[in-house]
Structure 1
Amino acid sequence: MSISEPKLARRPDGAALFIAVILAVIAGVIIWQMNLMRVPPVQQRVGPTVFPYAIAGALILLSIGTVVSALRGSFPAREKGSMAPMVWIVAGLLAQILLLSTAGFAVATGLLFAFTAKGFGRGPLWQTIPIGIVFALLVWFIFARGLQLSLPAGPLERLLP
């Protein structure tokens, strides 16, 4: 660029600034909640508060870096978003929430898997729903039977020993 050419003014990236605010808010919530947590004196030096504070610090650094990049305009240009993938993923989340207590973990999470795959443009539903249910049933078995954690059981889960 020569001296005679005017420098084009760039607008700050609004989406990146919004993300920076979200990161800072999450860090603030973590710090606030950790200040409310009562820790026994034996654990005060190095205990359950160290890791959350480290995460909050990292989120603050990410927030600051995001603000700097947004003000510089150094983020690459984004493609125009499509609503269809988001609708598929949100529909999958809603299906999981609504079916978790009645159909069980495997069916509800299998539908979430299938709808998310559809949102990302992968496979037809008739193929991804059974695949998702099998994977979710495997996850349920590992967590519920192997680790003795409580996950919602539906008709499929009750068939397993």
Structure 2
Amino acid sequence: MSRGDSPSVETRRPDRAALIIAVVLAAIAGLIFWDVSRLAGLAGYSQVGPTTVPYAIACCLIVLAIWTAIEGFRGDFAEREPQQLGPVAWIVGGLAAQMLLLNTLGFSIATGVLFAMTARGFGKRQLWLTMPFGIVASFVVWTIFAKVLQLSLPAGPLERLLF
């Protein structure tokens, strides 16, 4: 067997998506480290203070970023299905609608719209059914948080009508 006849070694290319994810994880960890460094004077009398958990989260994110980068360079990630933009657009649109409607229509209706659009993104096509269900479920959540727990959530016409 000559030198040119040897079996070819499969060369793996680095997974660019995994490397981008690793960079984003490291950037978030860096942002947390920077933000927590401004709170360093608040430790008080104990070693455990308001900086402990954010530091732990940032350290975990750094470990995940390194792990993801290693796996990305090795090319060990499973083959991914192509991304479908339609469902993502429905969910992002639902989030945008909720943010825009929250102060005018209140928590229940805005979150009901988010629920219906997210359900549509996951394949449920009956908006006429999911919208009222989402509004009722959101109203129950609003009632528990606003009336029972006395937390402040935006009230709209539905909440003002019933309370």
- Is TM-score (shorter-chain normalized) higher than 0.5? yes
Number of paired residues?
158
Give distance in 2, aligned partners of 1:146 and 1:29: 36
Runs in 1 of length 4+ with deviation above 6 angstroms?
none
Corresponding position of 2:30: 28
Query: 1:47: how far off?
Result: 1.2
- Residue 157 (structure 1) aligns with: 159
Indicate yes or no: 2:138 matched with 1:136: yes
Q: Is 2:74 aligned against 1:72? A: yes
2:45 is aligned, of 36, 42, 45, to: 42
> 1:93 and 2:132 equivalent?
no
Query: 1:159 deviation in Å?
Result: 2.6
> Alpha-carbon deviations, 1:17-46, whole Å to 9, x = none?
111111111111111111001405224x11
Q: In the alignment, is the contact (CA less than 8 A) between 2:43 and 2:49 conserved in 1?
A: no
Equivalent position of 2:110 in the other structure = 108
Task: Tell me the CA shift for residue 80 of structure 1.
Answer: 1.0
Contiguous gaps of at least 5 residues in structure 2: none
Q: Deviations over 1:82-105 (max 9, x none)?
A: 111011112111211111111000
1:54 and 2:51 equivalent? no
Gaps of 5+ in 1: none
Shift of residue 9, structure 1, vs aligned partner: 1.5
Match of 1:145 among 141, 144, 147: 147
Q: Distance in 1 between matches of 2:58 and 2:126?
A: 41
Decide which structure has the larger Cα Rg and report it. 2
How far 1:154 moved relative to its partner? 0.3
Q: Deviations over 1:104-140 (max 9, x none)?
A: 0000011011101100112410111111111111111
Alignment partners' CA distance in 2, 1:39 and 1:160: 44
- TM-score under structure 1 length normalisation: 0.92
C-alpha distance in 2 between matches for 1:142 and 1:103: 18
For 1:99, the aligned partner's letter is: L
TM-score w.r.t. length of structure 2: 0.91
